[in-house]
Amino acid sequence: MTITIKNKVAIVTGASRGIGEGIARVFANEGASVICVARSKDDGIKVVNSINNSGGKAEFIKADIREENECSELVNRVIKKYGRLDIMCHNAGIYPDELMEEMSVEIWDDTINTNLRSCFLLTKPCISVMRAQKSGRILFTSSITGPNVAQARLAAYSASKGGINAFIKAASLELAKDGITVNAVSPGNIVTDSLMSLYGEDGAKEIAKVVPTGNLGDTEDIGYAMVFLGSDQAKFITGQSIVVDGGQILPEDPDSFLRNE
């Protein structure tokens, strides 16, 4: 069996760096035409040029996924150029860490709007397009933080990611009969510049100690799971989230697994 997204047209949000860049690279390596989305044009163009220079097909579209008109315009532009949209992979997100008593309502709202409200804004314009195609894959980057485990200082983030896991279930029921599946990947700790600036090198080493595989993940690890969920072969999977975390959420206590040290 070959799992493939060859010749699929895929939007990846948050593809100017980090996990989104990893997903975009894996998608392009697998033969998809990738539309990379972010606000910062310079960073997005760098990723797109690098993908195209290594034989992939990618282009950049600037959009702020908090804005309804920018989300619908994004889908319209893709349909106008490619005539179809096979995969909407909404990965962009923010994770401001602040204690609740210090967190402003603006930060709370921005986190919910960026991470959760955008799922609705990006799904909505895909529905008529994918319904007409009788196929489509709507994918989100969720997190283990919120749905599976908790961290102080990440209340808004946790609520947004828990919301994504609830959203995919209802959305999948609305779209299942049309050949459209809605799923998420819930990453554990993945090495990105943003994560490293949150934890620092020493903090990252401490976290790696409680991951059964003994390491933090690579951005491509999320990309491979997205390829599977985005493929035709995953047509019977919907409303689910796949945890990709090196086994981090499994142990009952930190000493209940053997580490490779």
Which residue, 119 or 130, has its beta carbon nearer to ligand NAP?
Answer: 119
Sign for the CA dihedral angle at 23, 75, 168, 100 comes to positive
CB of 128 to ligand NAP, least distance (A): 23
CB of 178 to ligand NAP, least distance (A): 26
Residue ranges binding ligand NAP (CB under 6 A): 13-14, 16-20, 38-40, 43, 64-66, 91-95, 114, 141, 143, 187, 189-190, 192-195
Whether 82 is a known active-site residue: answer no
Please report, to the nearest 10 degrees, the dihedral formed by the alpha carbons of residues 247, 158, 10, 62 taken in order: -140
CA 84 – CA 70 distance, rounded (Å): 18
CB of 25 to ligand NAP, least distance (A): 13
* Active-site position among 82, 95, 157, 199: 157
CA 68 – CA 117 distance, rounded (Å): 10
Give the tokens for residue 99.
Answer: 């204690």
| 98 in Cβ contact with 107 (< 8 Å) | yes
CB of 195 to ligand NAP, least distance (A): 4
Q: 18-29 vs 193-209: helix axis angle to the nearest 10?
A: 90
Which residue, 33 or 114, has its beta carbon nearer to ligand NAP?
Answer: 114
Cite the active site residues.
157
